[in-house]
Amino acid sequence: MTDDDKADAIAAAVTAVPGVAQLHAGMFGEVATYLPGRKVSGIRFADNGTEVHVSLEFGAPVRETASVVRNAVAPIVSGPIHVTIEDVVTP
């Protein structure tokens, strides 16, 4: 699977998790996977694992939702998955 396919699959899996409002690019927009002609914000592949940054809906349990996000991404990539909750938003 190419990085394009992985990034798109991760984005779809993560945004389908209940309580996840959206992927989040970080405070300065630095968290992204850059692909030819586009970028997928909120996902970054690194040597030490895959980073997934999200905004949660208000009221979503933080630890449990992060665990569900990690489990949703695990079949797509190998190695550690680092989930960062960047923001909480009202639905």
Domains and CATH numbers, the chain: 3-89 (3.30.70.1350)
As a whole number of angstroms, the distance between CA 54 and CA 42 comes to 7
pTM here? Answer: 0.94
Strands 32-35 and 38-41: antiparallel
DSSP 80: -
Angle at 33 between CA 32 and CA 38, to 5 degrees: 100
62 and 20 Cβ atoms separated by less than 8 Å: no
What are the tens digits of pLDDT across the range 8-65?
Answer: 999 999 999 999 999 999 999 999 999 999 999 999 999 999 999 999 999 999 999 9
pLDDT at res. 2: 82
Of the candidates 12, 38, 34, the residue with the CA atom closest to the CA atom of residue 23: 12
